[in-house]
């Protein structure tokens, strides 16, 4: 009977991703602590990325709410004539 090696590979990939994230935090902190200008630039970069991500999340949430709410929600349109 053939052995299924995919779960073990998936676990290995997950461990690799977690290790990369841990390494990345170390690299970013090393750069940020090298000089005040580097820390300031990283802070502004974080603010730009976080700000644009929040705007995108707000727009996506608004689109999702608009999609699930009926068109006739609220008052009726004024009568013509």
At 10 the pLDDT is 73
- For residues 37, 42, 45, 50, the Cα torsion angle rounded to the nearest 10 degrees is -140
Work out the pLDDT band at 9, boundaries 50, 70, 90: confident
57 occurs within a structural domain: yes
Domain count, the chain: 1
61 occurs within a structural domain: yes
End-to-end distance of the chain based on CA atoms, in angstroms? 80
Separation of CA 32 from chain center: 22
Q: Which domain holds residue 61?
A: 35-66
Cα distances from 21 to residues 14, 24, 34, 40, 51, in angstroms, run: 11, 5, 20, 22, 22
At 29 the pLDDT is 92
Work out the pLDDT band at 7, boundaries 50, 70, 90: low
Percent of the chain whose predicted confidence (pLDDT) is above 70:
85
- Among 67, 46, 64, smallest CA distance to 56 is for 64
């Amino acid at each position: 009977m053939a052995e299924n090696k995919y779960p073990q590979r998936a676990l290995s990939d997950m461990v690799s991703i977690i290790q990369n994230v841990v390494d990345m935090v170390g690299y970013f902190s090393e750069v940020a602590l090298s000089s005040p200008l580097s820390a300031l630039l990283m802070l502004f970069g974080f603010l730009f990325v976080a700000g644009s991500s929040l705007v995108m999340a707000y727009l996506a949430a608004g689109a999702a709410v608009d999609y699930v709410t009926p068109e006739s929600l609220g008052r009726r349109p004024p009568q013509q004539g």
